[in-house]
Amino acid sequence: MTIDIKNLVRKNILNLKPYSSARDEFKDENGIFLDANENPFGELNRYPDPYQRKIKKKLSELNQIPTENIFLGNGSDEVIDLAFRIFCESKKDKVLTFSPTYGMYEVSANINEVELINLDLNEDFQIDLETLKPYLNDENLKIIFICSPNNPTGNSIQNIKYILDNFDGIVFIDEAYIDFSPEESFRNQIENYPKLIVSQTFSKAWGMASVRVGIAYASQEIIKFYNKVKPPYNISQMNQNTILNTLDNENINQVSENIKIILEEKKSLIENLEKLDLVKKIYPSDANFILIEVDNADNIYQKLIQENVIIRNRNSVIKNCLRITVGSPEENKKLIKSLKSIN
Ligand code: PMP
């Protein structure tokens, strides 16, 4: 398949001469470094590797994906924002999302002054292909965002392959919650779909939300543009070290153990929620959170706060729905106890 990524990229980005940092110009690790206006004293005095090569090498080995197909961002929120900057001309191009979904696609669209087409998911929170089809030929539609498992609904999205096969623009699949899901990641499809971006994050299953590291897997052509537009040193050395440590075998095992515990806790949380009269519906979830419908979400949300339990009130997005993150066994017990006292 011939790749025409360049036809999708904004002209100014195509022509952009990227910033060339001191570490771009001299890559060796050894030497007397008098090239970056750094301070010679201290332990945190040097700029970090701008391309986070050690982390990418580990991710590459872990997932059998070449390092050239990996980009790391300051959280996956940066991965989302840079997609707008690379592909979307302000006040001209459009992106498409399926709602309800993660709020940052819309915020990034607004920041970048890009029109957002928002199609409702159907009552099972799935994409209605018939509604989508007329939009697939819009030449100003640059990116379709698909969040799977979806936030805040928790379910995996079906028919993604149809969109990959029938849309000529960028398909951005946000897999922030994929490590909790039985579904296979689309990152293994980047070879087949040169316009696919799969974003993942260290913030959820990896338990590293405070470190702010997100991942994009995509064709080398797309990754090159990501590297062209990113801030020169977008991930600090301390954060790179923390992620590298997490990627040690021993720590990976701990991450897997924690995922197992969270999934067992989710099962038991659902069993307990089912017994409560105030819970009207529990939506299926492939993530580390559960969306429930209640009679009066605002009321229950406030009462839980009085019990010192904070969940997410999604009433403004999906009527009378609350989103509950699966916590530790003790936290979940406290949640159920508090809900019983409201019941
Ligand atoms: N995508 C989704 C679907 C999310 O829910 C979140 C965070 N809540 C993000 C991306 C952003 O994650 P990060 O911490 O990697 O910026």
pLDDT in tens, 28-82: 889 999 999 999 999 999 999 999 999 999 999 999 999 999 999 999 999 999 9
Mean pLDDT confidence for 103-127: 98
Task: Indicate if 243 and 289 belong to the same structural domain.
Answer: no
For residues 204 and 10, give the distance between their C-alpha atoms in angstroms, rounded to a whole number. Answer: 32
Tokens of 34: 């008098």
Q: How far is the CA of 77 from the centre of ligand 1 (A)?
A: 6
Q: Can you give the pLDDT at residue 257?
A: 97
Mean pLDDT confidence for 276-285: 98
Confidence of residue 4 (pLDDT cuts 50, 70, 90): confident
Tokens of 131: 């509604």
Percent of the residues in the chain that have a pLDDT greater than 90, as a whole number: 96
Q: How far is the CA of 122 from the centre of ligand 1 (A)?
A: 23
Is residue 104 scored above 60 in pLDDT?
A: yes
pLDDT, one tens digit per residue, over 226-260 is 999 999 999 999 999 999 999 998 899 999 999 99
For residues 212 and 234, give the distance between their C-alpha atoms in angstroms, rounded to a whole number. Answer: 10
CATH number at residue 197: 3.40.640.10
Residue 169 DSSP label: S
Q: How far is the CA of 231 from the centre of ligand 1 (A)?
A: 20
228 close to 87: Cβ distance less than 8 angstroms: no
Strand bridging mode 279-282 / 289-294: antiparallel
Task: Indicate if 105 and 227 belong to the same structural domain.
Answer: yes
Q: Which of residues 291 and 23 earns the better pLDDT score?
A: 291
Please provide residue 246's backbone torsions phi and psi, each rounded to the nearest 5 degrees. -65, -30
Task: Indicate if 191 and 159 belong to the same structural domain.
Answer: yes
Confidence of residue 16 (pLDDT cuts 50, 70, 90): very high
Q: Can you give the pLDDT at residue 227?
A: 98
Confidence of residue 343 (pLDDT cuts 50, 70, 90): confident
Task: For residue 186, give the nearest of 168, 206, 210, 159 by alpha carbon.
Answer: 159
Is residue 2 scored above 60 in pLDDT?
A: no
To which residue do tokens 């939506």 refer?
A: 283
- Structural domain count, the chain: 2
Is residue 3 scored above 70 in pLDDT?
A: no
Is residue 1 scored above 50 in pLDDT?
A: no
Mean pLDDT confidence for 285-313: 98
Task: For residue 225, give the nearest of 142, 148, 160 by alpha carbon.
Answer: 142
For residues 50 and 47, give the distance between their C-alpha atoms in angstroms, rounded to a whole number. Answer: 8
Task: Indicate if 264 and 242 belong to the same structural domain.
Answer: no
Which of 231, 247, 263 corresponds to the end of one domain? 247
Is residue 11 scored above 70 in pLDDT?
A: yes
From 145, 155, 201, give the residue whose CB has the most ligand 1 atoms within 8 Å, as the site to mutate: 201
Segments forming the whole domain that contains residue 72: 5-247
Task: Indicate if 155 and 267 belong to the same structural domain.
Answer: no
Task: Indicate if 172 and 235 belong to the same structural domain.
Answer: yes
At residue 171, the 3 state secondary structure works out as strand
CATH number at residue 333: 3.90.1150.10
Pocket (CB within 6 angstroms of ligand 1): 75-77, 102, 147, 151, 174, 176, 201, 203, 209, 214
Mean pLDDT confidence for 145-161: 98
Task: Indicate if 259 and 238 belong to the same structural domain.
Answer: no
Strand bridging mode 214-218 / 70-73: antiparallel
Task: Indicate if 331 and 228 belong to the same structural domain.
Answer: no
Q: For residue 321, count CB atoms less than 10 angstroms from its CB and return exposed for 0-12, middle for 13-18, buried for 19 or more.
A: buried
Task: Indicate if 39 and 54 belong to the same structural domain.
Answer: yes
Is residue 139 scored above 50 in pLDDT?
A: yes
From 99, 102, 177, give the residue whose CB has the most ligand 1 atoms within 8 Å, as the site to mutate: 102
pTM value is: 0.97
> b/e map of 108-140 (b: 16 or more CB within 10 Å)?
bbeebebbbeeeebeeebbbeeeebeeebeeee
Task: Indicate if 100 and 185 belong to the same structural domain.
Answer: yes
Alpha helix locations (H) across the chain?
A: 5-8, 11-14, 22-25, 53-63, 76-87, 104-111, 129-132, 160-166, 220-229, 237-246, 249-274, 297-306, 329-342
Mean pLDDT confidence for 303-314: 98
Which of 202, 219, 247 corresponds to the end of one domain? 247
Q: How far is the CA of 247 from the centre of ligand 1 (A)?
A: 20
Task: Indicate if 146 and 235 belong to the same structural domain.
Answer: yes
Mean pLDDT confidence for 137-151: 97
Q: Report how far apart the first and last C-alpha atoms of the chain are (Å, whole number).
A: 59
Task: Indicate if 184 and 198 belong to the same structural domain.
Answer: yes
Which strand ranges, in their side-by-side order, compose the sheet holding 141-147? 70-73, 214-218, 196-201, 170-174, 141-147, 94-99, 115-120
**Among 27-36, 161-170, 263-272, 303-312, the least confident range:** 27-36
Tokens of 271: 């069993």
To which residue do tokens 């999906």 refer?
A: 318
Q: How far is the CA of 176 from the centre of ligand 1 (A)?
A: 6
54 close to 247: Cβ distance less than 8 angstroms: no
pLDDT, one tens digit per residue, over 67-99 is 999 999 999 999 999 999 999 999 999 999 999
Please provide residue 94's backbone torsions phi and psi, each rounded to the nearest 5 degrees. -135, 155
Which of 226, 247, 268 corresponds to the end of one domain? 247
